[in-house]
Every structure is written in C-alpha cells, then in structure tokens.
A and B are shown apart, each in its own frame.
Chain A
Amino acid sequence: NAGVTQTPKFRVLKTGQSMTLLCAQDMNHEYMYWYRQDPGMGLRLIHYSVGEGTTAKGEVPDGYNVSRLKKQNFLLGLESAAPSQTSVYFCASSYSAREAFFGQGTRLTVV
C-alpha cells in the first residue's frame, strides 16, 4: 500500500519552462489536493478535485492548471514557470475532506 506518491521529488526549471507534477493515490479517495508550502508559511491550496473529471480553484490558482482524468491521479501543470513558483509542492488525498494523506513533497526551484 503506497498511499500517496508524488513524482518527481526534486526539479530545477528555468524561467518560462513548463512541467507537470504527478500525484497518484491507491486508496480510492474521491478528494485530491495540491498545496504549496513556502518558508514560514503554512500550506496554501492551489487546486483541488472532488472526483474524477472535476477540478476547482483554491486560494492561489494563478499560474497553475490541473487535471483529474483518472480517479487515482491528479496532475499539476506549470505552463510557464516563474521564480515566484519556487516552493515545495504537496499532494494529498482524502475521503470527503476528512483525514488527508500526504505525499512526501516535490521541491521545485525556478531559476
């Protein structure tokens, strides 16, 4: 039982490049979330999904897009990376906004 798996774990991008972060969960959870965590701050919600084929904006959605084509996967895309997107990104899944299970994070640096 892997829980929530994020790939990649580390990435360095140049400004303007694009990339996709993958989150996979094997717990059949309906809810999935993408957060970013910056030094001294808590987790800020980027986008979330309440089921396959659905997505919704969170607190800080600008510059990001998401897709939930399969129930077990939630993809976060950066179309044109900016230095302000340097952060640690966490994916989580849960059953109906209850106990959430987190991945180990993706440390992204945009130079």
Chain B
Amino acid sequence: SQQGEEDPQALSIQEGENATMNCSYKTSINNLQWYRQNSGRGLVHLILIRSNEREKHSGRLRVTLDTSKKSSSLLITASRAADTASYFCATDGRAGSARQLTFGSGTQLTVLP
C-alpha cells in the first residue's frame, strides 16, 4: 500500500482563496516532499521538509509537519487559476539498506477564476 495518503481527493476553490491539502503517512521518515503535476505532465518538486522541522515556507507555499501524528499539510495562499493541478506528497521510507521515494494518491486542486 502507498505510504502517503492525501486528503481531500479533490478541492475546488475561488481565485484568491487559500487551499489546504493534508497528507498522512505510515512509517518513520527522513523527509517529506510535496510535488505538483499539471495535466499530462511529469511531477515537479515544490518543497521538502525534514523530519526535524515543523514548518517551512516557500513563496505562497507553507508546509507543516507533525511527526507525532505522521501528517503534513500544504497551504497555498492567495490561489491563482494557474495553481490548478494535482498535488502529491512523497515520503522517503527505508526498505533494507535503501531508501525509496513513495507517493500518495494526490489531491486534485481546481482554482476557479
């Protein structure tokens, strides 16, 4: 089963509003990442937060991490129509001696103009 699960599966908001997406995971991690995917394209890295960090900002993005609850949230402030995309969280888990990057099922964000 996938390590990360996003919530909600779909989110529709008006331009200018804030969008919040949540991610829950199952095992211990070294870091958690958020990616964006425009329709028909590959994923693009947005932000990485380490397991010893609680909050991180990048432009209009704010990510929080609660390792005690095994959860993270991505906040996009002042959303724009161009933010319409799918957003995925990814965690690095350890399988034996190797680290693998596993993704959740994503949140489809639609920002209405």
Contact = CB atoms under 8 A, between A and B. Distances in A.
Asked if A pairs with B, the answer is yes
Interface of A: 4, 31, 33, 35, 40-45, 48, 50, 56, 58-59, 90, 92, 94, 96-105
A48 B88 contact: no
B98 to A, nearest CB: 5
B90 interface: yes
Main secondary structure of the interface of B (DSSP, over half): strand
A56 B2 contact: no
22 contacts: A31-B99, A35-B103, A40-B105, A42-B2, A42-B4, A42-B6, A48-B100, A48-B101, A56-B98, A56-B100, A58-B100, A59-B1, A59-B2, A92-B101, A98-B92, A100-B45, A100-B90, A100-B101, A102-B42, A103-B42, A104-B41, A105-B41
Contacts of B101: 31, 33, 45, 48, 92, 94, 97, 100
Interface string B79-100: 0000000001010100110111
Contacts of A41: 105
Nearest to B42: A102
B14 to A, nearest CB: 25
Contacts of B78: none
Contact of A90 (B2, B31, B43, B95): B43
Contacts, number: 75
A42 B106 contact: yes
A96 B41 CA distance: 24
Given A41-B105, A56-B95, A59-B2, A90 B100 contact: no
A102 B44 contact: yes
Contacts of B102: 45, 58-59
Nearest to A91: B42
A4 B101 CA distance: 17
A40 B6 CA distance: 12
A24 B64 CA distance: 34
B48 A99 contact: yes
A9 to B, nearest CB: 11
